[in-house]
């Protein structure tokens, strides 16, 4: 199998109860809940689905954030601040690529099972508020999940920014959608850090 065949290979997931036919090659038929087979069919899927956290049938966003927290705690003894900056910095463009490709393969602009946005955004939160103990990290977790789930103010604006896209008329729609998947979680991360900073400084 050559490289072009690999990147164009079909994906697998649980079918929808009423399958939707694609109207063109650029707009695939939406698929149902992704499966392990779908995740392993492409490296972008593995990344976007948070190494399996996004396969959770209950609150995949929360599962992805918990995975990010566990990974941060596990890696903290081995990575200093500068190394974490590199990890997060590289995770953003890689995540953009992975989220774009996975969303396109699923035929959905912002699939709930894509959790790399939660992963990299919560890593950013934990990195910016460090050093802090588990209690501080738990507070950050609660705040981040609130902003990401409820989407107040600027988070809601960022979430809706690219929802109007139509892949049939906009050739860059999937790339914009991939960026949008990351954007609202990064805004949620910023809101989380702002609240913690205000609390720390007694504002």
Integer angstrom CA distances of residue 164 from 156, 170, 181: 14, 11, 13
Q: What is the pLDDT of residue 163?
A: 79
Q: What are phi and psi of 35, to 5 degrees?
A: -110, 175
Taking only the tens place, the pLDDT of each residue in 71-127 is: 999 999 999 999 999 999 999 999 999 999 999 999 888 899 999 999 999 999 999
Mean of all residue pLDDT scores within the chain: 86
- Does residue 7 form part of some domain? no
Q: What is the pLDDT of residue 32?
A: 73
What domain range is 44 assigned to? Answer: 22-200
Q: What is the pLDDT of residue 31?
A: 74
- Does residue 16 form part of some domain? no
Rounded Cα–Cα distance for residues 84 and 165 (Å): 34
Residue 29 vs residue 165, higher pLDDT: 165
SS3 track for 105-161: HHCCCCCCCCCHHHHHHHHHHHHHHCCCCHHHHHHHHHHHHHHHHHCCHHHHHHHHC
Q: At 28, is the pLDDT very low, low, confident or very high (cuts 50, 70, 90)?
A: low
- Does residue 12 form part of some domain? no
- Does residue 17 form part of some domain? no
Q: What is the pLDDT of residue 29?
A: 64
Q: What is the pLDDT of residue 47?
A: 98
For the segment 142-154, the average pLDDT, to the nearest whole number, is: 97
pLDDT at 14 over 90: no
First to last CA, the chain: 60
Q: At 129, is the pLDDT very low, low, confident or very high (cuts 50, 70, 90)?
A: very high
- Does residue 113 form part of some domain? yes
Three-state DSSP class for 31? coil
Q: What is the pLDDT of residue 203?
A: 63
- Does residue 10 form part of some domain? no
pLDDT at 171 over 50: yes
Three-state DSSP class for 22? coil
| 48 touches 116 (CB < 8 A) | yes
- Does residue 14 form part of some domain? no
- Does residue 11 form part of some domain? no
pLDDT at 57 over 80: yes
Number of domains in the chain: 1
């Amino acid at each position: 199998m050559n490289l072009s065949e690999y990147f164009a290979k079909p994906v697998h997931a649980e079918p929808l109860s009423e399958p939707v036919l694609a109207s063109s090659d650029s707009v695939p038929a939406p698929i149902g809940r992704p499966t392990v087979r779908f995740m392993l069919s492409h490296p972008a899927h593995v990344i976007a689905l948070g190494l399996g956290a996004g396969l959770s049938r209950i609150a995949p966003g929360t599962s992805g954030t918990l995975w990010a927290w566990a990974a941060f705690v596990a890696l903290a003894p081995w990575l200093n601040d500068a190394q974490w900056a590199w990890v997060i910095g590289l995770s953003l463009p890689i995540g953009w690529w992975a989220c774009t490709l996975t969303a396109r393969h699923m035929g959905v602009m912002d699939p709930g099972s894509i959790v790399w946005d939660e992963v990299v955004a919560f890593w950013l939160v934990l990195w910016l508020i460090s050093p802090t103990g588990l209690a501080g990290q738990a507070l950050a977790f609660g705040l981040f999940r609130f902003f990401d789930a409820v989407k107040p103010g600027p988070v809601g604006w960022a979430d809706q920014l690219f929802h109007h896209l139509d892949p049939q008329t906009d050739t860059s729609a999937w790339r914009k959608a991939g960026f949008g998947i990351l954007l609202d979680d990064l805004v949620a991360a910023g809101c989380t850090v702002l609240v913690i900073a205000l609390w720390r400084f007694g504002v």
